[in-house]
Each structure stands twice: as structure tokens, then as C-alpha cells.
Amino acid sequence: MADLRVSIKDMRFKNPVLTAAGPTSRDGMTLLNAAAGGAGGLVAKTVSVRAAEIPHPNMAALKSGVLGTKQGMLNAELWSEIPLERWLEREYAIALSAGLPLIASVGYTPEDVASIGPRLEEAGVHAIEFSTHYVGGHVEIAKALKEAVEVPIFAKLSPKVDVAEVAKSLEPHVDGIVGINTYGPCLRINIETGMPLLGSSAGEGWMSGAALKPIALRCVADIAKSVDLPVIAVGGVMSGEDVIEYMMVGASAVQVCTAAILGGDAVYGKIASEARDWLNEHGHDSLEDIRGIALKHVESPKTLSGTPHIDLEKCTRCALCMKSCVYSAISVDKKKNHFEIDPERCQSCGMCISVCPYHALSIP
Ligand SMILES: Cc1cc2nc3c(=O)[nH]c(=O)nc-3n(C[C@H](O)[C@H](O)[C@H](O)COP(=O)(O)O)c2cc1C
């Protein structure tokens, strides 16, 4: 049985799937529920000097006929609506009773984090993540927090900055990097009313979930290549395979927000056990076996060409590959148990390989 435990600084996580700052970490009870749902560690909603006043509505699923709501969502939520005092008196203590490492999240100015940091530490949190969501001034914030507290500090980056450059500038001042926050601004319209789905200024919101993952994965790879610090990945983790992908580009753990909003507290444990199954099936003893192994290929990718090979044992003849082959090179007939790729038509584009849920196709 593969070992899912990971350690970051002095924190020992029973699995690498942590909560993320958001509505699924909005208070102590919500964090306890996440722990009961199998989270390996807890990250709380961002707190600041004053409670946030958030617009309504502030969440909208991204949907399309083909993909349902699995793509992700937009949000216009800000930081915590719960006053800092209540977090300090009550919410962190409730979360700590889960017995898991607890990372507080704080924003936004150097003065804010320097005044709040020591109070979070006193409340017993094991580390502090600071959010730089589109506020900039990363190094000044990091220095102010580092000088104010003893616990490890993590900088959470937004995807619109040059994450490699920012991570390098932060390296002497932080204990780890969290990447990434949501991407935006983005927009959705209710076609029955013609109004934006979100009640924020200009109806704009910030994107998260599966649609964010390729952006986040590239950012995590860039950060891992640039600095010698633990990287906690966040963005579109919906399954165990997503955890594996992030570990391969150098992540030490992941955070999950949108999957828990759409799927409930049990997703943390489900994602962790899917990651364990993958490691077992591929003969790995622990996540350390695969951490960072994709980075060398990201730096110098190989060009593959030729007609994909089909593993008929793995193929279920579901025909997803045929439907997405724009060159009409694939024919599948489930009733006749038939599968064929026409090498004359195949352009080696790779789409069929990426849509196959059973990993039955490969270019040798
Ligand atoms: C509704 C909502 C509220 C969020 N609030 C915060 C927050 O208070 N602080 C923060 O750093 N990130 C916040 N985030 C960003 C998430 O922590 C995470 O970085 C992002 O959603 C990408 O992860 P995901 O695809 O798993 O959702 C929020 C995300 C959502 C969807």
C-alpha cells in the first residue's frame, strides 16, 4: 500500500490533499467537516483587519451542455466575512480540534499581516499563508510577516504575475510557495435576464476549477523549476490523477476548493484514495517516487509522431476518441468489437490519447 504521508517544514500531513481558502474553509465547523471528509491538512479562509462585505450573488458554475458543471466556477467572494476576533477566539480552536496541521491565511498589506500574524500564531496555527491576490508588493508583505512570526510562512501567488520571477524574489523571505489563486476577471451572463450572473462590480468574477488547471500546472512547474522551496499546488484538483500530475511537476501537496464546493466534504478523501490507487497500480511506494519527474521533460520535450498504438485490453470501445478525431481516422464499433486507426488519415495530433479515459492509446 503506497504511503501518502507528506511533510512540509515541521508539518506532517496524513495525505497531500488540503483544504484551500474559500467557502469550504469559511469557519471552524466547516474545517472540521473537511477533516471528517478525509482532508490531510487544513487551510482556513483568508482573514484581514476588517470583515469583508461581499456582493450577492457571488458564485456561478461554469457549464456547457457537453461538460456539465465539471469545468469549474466563477466567484466574487472576497476574504472572510467573519471578524478576525471571532476567528481568534473560536474558529481556529475548533479547526485545531481536528488534530491536523492548520494553516491560516491572511491579507493584504505589510501593515495588516504584521499586526495579524502574531495573533494567528498565538491562536495556535501551525503556519501562515499570505494572499497577494492582485495586490502586488510580494517581498514587502513577506518581509513584514516573516519578521512578525516564528511559524513557517507561505506566499500564495496569482496567475497573472510572472510566478517564476516573483517566487525567486520571495525565496529568501518565505518557507514555501502556494500557487495559484483564481484567474480573472471573467464574466458570465444570465441569458433569461441579460444580467451578469454575479453581483460584483461590472459583474466580474474569478475562475477556478478544472478550467484553471492547465494554467495552474504551468505556474507550479515554473515555480518548482525556479526555487528550492516546497510548492503547494492549487487549481482544478478534481481527482487523484490531478494530484499525481501536480506531484510530477514538483508539488509537495495540493489544495482543493472548487471540487469540494461542487462535490462536498467527501471529495478530499476520495481524491486522496484515488491518488493512492494510482501509485499502487504503477508500483510506487510513495509520492516521493514521482515528485518532480516531469520537470526534465517540461524543459526539453520530445516530439512524438506516428499512428497511436491501441491497447485492446484497456479499450472499452466507448468511441470517445472517434468522436473527437477531427481527421476521421478512427472507427470504433462496440457491437462488432471493432477498433481501427487509419494511418493515412491520422495526423498524430494526440487528441485521442488525451480524451481516452482508460489510457488505452499511446504513441510509442
Ligand atoms: C468562492 C471562492 C472563494 C475563495 N476565497 C479565497 C480566499 O479567501 N483567499 C484565497 O487566498 N483564495 C481564495 N480562493 C481561491 C482558492 O483558494 C483557490 O486558490 C482557487 O479557487 C483555485 O483552486 P480550485 O480550482 O481548487 O478552486 C477562493 C476561491 C473560491 C472559488
pLDDT of amino acid 66? 65
Report the pLDDT value the prediction gives residue 241, as an integer from 0 to 100: 97
Domains with residue ranges and CATH for the chain: 6-298 (3.20.20.70), 303-364 (3.30.70.20)
Indicate if ligand 1 lies below 6 Å from the C-beta of 125.
Answer: no
User: What pLDDT is recorded for position 134?
Assistant: 67
Query: Tens digit of pLDDT for each residue in 168-178?
Result: 999 999 999 99
Answer for the pair 181, 157: CB distance below 8 angstroms, yes or no: yes
Q: Cα(127)–Cα(146) distance, rounded to whole angstroms?
A: 11
Please give the helix or strand (H or E) that residue 142 lies within, else none.
helix 138-148
| Ligand 1 centre distance from Cα of residue 209 (Å) | 9
State the average pLDDT over residues 203-220: 97
Question: Cβ atoms within 10 A of the Cβ of 343, count?
Answer: 11
pLDDT digits (tens, 9 = 90+) for 248-303: 999 999 999 999 999 999 999 999 999 999 999 999 999 999 999 999 999 888 88
- The finding on whether 181 has its CB within 6 A of some atom of ligand 1 is yes
At 166 the pLDDT is: 97
At residue 364, the pLDDT reads: 78
Residue 297 CB burial class (10 angstroms; 0-12, 13-18, ≥19): exposed
The answer to whether the CB of 235 is under 6 A from ligand 1 is yes
- How many whole angstroms from 262 Cα to the centroid of ligand 1? 13
Quote the DSSP letter at residue 135: T
Give pLDDT, residue 143. Answer: 98
Do 256 and 274 meet the contact criterion of CB atoms below 8 Å apart? no
Residue whose entry in the numeric block shows the C-alpha cell 464546493 = 261
What's the rounded mean pLDDT across residues 193-222? Answer: 97
Q: Which atom of ligand 1 is nearest to the CA of 20?
A: 17
- Specify the pTM: 0.96
Residue 67 is predicted with a pLDDT of 62
> Which of 257, 267, 268 best tests ligand 1's pocket when mutated (most atoms within 8 Å of CB)?
257
Q: Determine what percent of the chain is predicted with pLDDT higher than 90.
A: 93
Report how far residue 140's alpha carbon sits from residue 142's, in angstroms, rounded to the nearest whole number: 5
